[in-house]
Every structure is written in C-alpha cells, then in structure tokens.
C-alpha cells in the first residue's frame, strides 16, 4: 500500500511540474514563410489587420535585407499600415521582442504597445521610441511583472515596413497547477511522515 501511495504521489508531483511552462522564444524560423494572420504556435496566436480587415501583408518567417542587434532574418515582417495582435493561450508575465523599421532615423514613437489582462481590459499603453543605427532604426521592448493575455501593436506610419523578431514570453501557472503541485507535495510529505513512524 505504501508503494502505491508513493507512486501516486510521485506521479501527481511530476504531472504538476509539467504544467509550469518553460519560457518560449520565437525566432520566426519555426515555420515556412506564410501570412502571420491566424498563425498559432507555441501558445501564441497572431492576428494582423488593416482598417479592421484581416490582411496578408505581414509575413511570419520573412527574409529581411539586414540585421540589427535585436532583429535578424528571418523575422515577422509587415506593412506599418496594419495592426498586429498577439493572443496568448494563457497568461504571460514576461514579454520581450526586437523591432526594426526600414528607416535610418529615430522614430518617436516608433510603435505603440497596448497590454491587456485575462478579461481583455487594457492594462497599459506604451509608446516605444526607436533609435537610429548604422543599419535600421530599432528598439528592444521588454515588460515583466504584468499579467498579460493580449498585446496589440500599432506602428509609426511615416515608414512603410516593420520587422519583429525574438519574441519571448513565459506562462504563469494556472491556479489548478498550483493546487496540483501542492497536493503532490502534501501526499509525499504525508507518506514520508508515515514511513518515519513505522
């Protein structure tokens, strides 16, 4: 009976540990080149629209003519006329990505990023300034300690093309995962205590 309880406790603990997602980084070489609207991969679904209509003018895995510190080929490349959305399968509390534009000038703002919570309430809207470099103007956006389920990105339309790369995010464990982990630990603790009594 003890062995059965021990096996059950270990399985419960292992199952709950798998519910804690590892951080994900998309470098946009995971799939062949395709319109990004509707692409779901690694816990994020992309949307891209122009004037409220789904558009194919943003491409997952597109080749770009040069690299910056935060954006390398391939990348997510599209028209600045559109709006890019990222919907996460669960809540994420850390988000970062590199952005570049086909310009050699500083753009202020280069883009506006809106962050939404699990109920799709706007948490924060942030303007990001891009800095001119020898290759293209770009920036690194990074956000942590905010529970996000959706990101909406609008771009400076004084330039024509954006490139986004190295999208990193991680999942926050669901409350059920925490309960499952606690249950597994409690079973193991009880079994250890029971075994010491014998």
DSSP letter for each residue of 133-163: -SS-EEEEEEEEEEEEEEEEEEE-TTSSEEE
The CATH class of the 25-172 domain is mainly beta
Give the pLDDT band of residue 171 (cuts 50, 70, 90).
Answer: confident
* Range with lowest mean pLDDT among 100-109, 123-132, 173-182, 186-195: 173-182
Under a CB-based contact definition with an 8 Å cutoff, are residues 9 and 187 in contact? yes
Q: Please tell me the pTM assigned to this model.
A: 0.79
Give the pLDDT band of residue 7 (cuts 50, 70, 90).
Answer: low
Average per-residue pLDDT for the chain: 87
pLDDT at 16 over 90: no
User: What gap in Å lies between CA 85 and CA 67, rounded to an integer?
Assistant: 24
DSSP letter for each residue of 50-114: ETTEE-S-EEEEE--S---SS--SSEEEEETTSEEEEEEEEEEEEEEEEEEES-SS-EEEEEEEE
pLDDT at 134: 83
Classify burial at 139, counting beta carbons within 10 Å of its beta carbon; exposed 0-12, middle 13-18, buried 19 or more: buried
Please, how many CA atoms are within 13 Å of residue 20, restricted to the half-sphere of its CB?
8
Domain boundaries, the chain: 25-172
Residues sharing a CB contact under 8 Å with residue 184, sequence separation 6 or more, in sequence order: 9, 10, 12, 13, 14, 15, 16
* Range with lowest mean pLDDT among 12-26, 70-84, 133-147: 12-26
Give the pLDDT band of residue 22 (cuts 50, 70, 90).
Answer: confident
């Amino acid at each position: 009976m003890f062995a059965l309880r021990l096996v059950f406790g270990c399985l419960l603990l292992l199952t709950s540990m798998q519910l804690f997602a590892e951080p994900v980084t998309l470098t946009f070489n995971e799939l062949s080149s395709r319109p990004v609207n509707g692409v779901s991969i690694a816990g994020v679904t992309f949307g891209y629209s122009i004037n409220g209509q789904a558009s194919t003018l943003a491409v997952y895995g597109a080749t770009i003519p040069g690299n910056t510190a935060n954006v390398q080929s391939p990348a997510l490349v599209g028209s600045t006329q559109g709006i890019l959305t990222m919907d996460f399968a669960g809540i994420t509390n850390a988000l970062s990505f590199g952005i570049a534009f086909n310009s050699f000038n500083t753009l202020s703002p280069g883009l506006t990023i809106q962050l939404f919570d699990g109920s799709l309430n706007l948490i924060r809207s942030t303007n990001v300034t891009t800095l001119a470099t020898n290759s293209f103007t770009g920036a690194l956006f990074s956000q942590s300690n905010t529970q996000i389920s959706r990101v909406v990105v609008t771009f400076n339309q004084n330039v024509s093309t954006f490139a986004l790369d190295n999208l990193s995010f991680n999942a926050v464990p669901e409350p059920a995962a925490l309960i499952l982990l606690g249950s597994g630990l409690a079973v193991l603790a009880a079994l250890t205590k029971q075994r010491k009594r014998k």
